[in-house]
Amino acid sequence: MTSRPAEPPRQQAGAISTILKGLRRRVQRDVIDTAVAQLFEAAVRHPRGTVASGEYRIDDLARLAGTTTRNIRVYRDRGLLHPPFRVGRLALFNDTHLTRLRLISSMLDRGYNIAHVREMLTAWEQGKDLGDVLGLETAIAGDWAAEKPTSMAIAEARRLIDDGQAFDRLIAAGLIRVDDDGREATVVRPKLIEAFNEIRGFGVTIDKLIDIHEQVQPLVDQISGILVRAGVEHLQDHIKPGEALPDDTEVAELITMLVQFRTQAVAAVTATLASSIESTIEEVVSRILADYVEKSSDEQT
């Protein structure tokens, strides 16, 4: 029998209902902050329109994966998606198809063409760690916090940075926290620190990278503020200070909307930033080469 998603999703509404019950009883600020984090984690774990497992007709599969039946047929014809299994005359897909379809959509959204996707899916099926290489585990399963802080012994954290002065600067910038007894450290932005270390391999000093971060972070916060205000304006039409919270189902829908808003906003900003950086790099390199050619010409003259 084909599984059809409930509208709105029961799993999500149930998880959010549990959190809201505690929130309605206690309104201390720290409780609210914790509840907000839990609300978004629940929304991402049980996204709108998904079910835990099942068998799907092609239209159900397209809806759950956020694509079209036409795309599914194209992916099947190109060998990206395995054929459905048959129950009499009925063609049914399962959760393996759904996961693979989300993976395909994620890679195509990242700009890969169908040939590249086929190659990477083959590598994935052969056991290569494609999820780590492309960051696709988040695209499939979802997660709220973009980065999870990582705790380690203070000595390990210092080895990770390998620069005492820079380590202190990272603490001052809030990117690393050290506990009261000085034995443990928490890397608040592990992906950022990993990126720092990658770029250091090209000879850029970590002090320079921290300088860049300190210049860029306020600008990123400004962009974030502009985008989030757009979502908040919609939210304020439904949740108003001094009034009772809407029912759990409506809150679940609003939280889901904000999760999707986050995803699309990040995608839009990433694409815009990449385009801007590409244009700027081309402009800078063209200027450097033009200056070089002009100087060489003057020297020859």
pLDDT at 27 over 70: no
Structure tokens at 187: 């890397």
Average pLDDT, the chain: 76
> In whole angstroms, what separates CA 49 from the centre of its chain?
19
Give residue for tokens 């709108």.
48
Beta strands in the chain (DSSP E): 85-87, 90-92, 150-153, 176-178, 184-187
Considering only residues 205 and 241, tell me which one the structure prediction assigns the higher pLDDT.
205
pLDDT band at 140 (very low <50, low <70, confident <90, very high): very low
Is residue 41 over pLDDT 70?
no
pLDDT of residue 36: 60
Among 22, 33, 31, CA closest to 248 = 22
pLDDT tens-digit map of 154-164: 999 999 999 99
Q: Tell me, what's the pLDDT at 231?
A: 76
Label residue 43 by pLDDT band (50, 70, 90): low
Distances from the Cα of 298 to the Cαs of 286, 287, 290, in angstroms? 18, 16, 12
- Which residues does residue 176 pair with via DSSP β-bridges, in sequence order? 187
pLDDT of residue 52: 39
223-244 pLDDT, tens digit per residue, is 888 888 877 777 777 777 667 7
**177 membership: H or E segment, kind and range:** strand 176-178
pLDDT at res. 31? 55
pLDDT above 70 for 46: no
Tell me which architecture the domain covering 48-141 has in CATH.
Orthogonal Bundle (1.10)
Name the token pair of 159: 């080895």
Residue 207 one-letter amino acid: D
State pLDDT tens for residues 56-95. 889 988 988 888 999 999 999 988 888 888 877 788 888 7
Dmax (CA) of the chain: 84
What pLDDT, on a 0 to 100 scale, did the predictor assign at position 133?
44
pLDDT of residue 299: 72
Domain ranges within the chain, ordered by starting residue: 48-141, 146-232, 233-300
- The confidence band for 122, taking pLDDT boundaries of 50, 70 and 90, is confident
| pLDDT for position 90 | 82
131: Cβ contacts below 8 Å, ≥ 6 apart: 124, 137
Which residue did the predictor score with more confidence, 41 or 295?
Answer: 295
Q: What are the tokens at 257? A: 């909307």
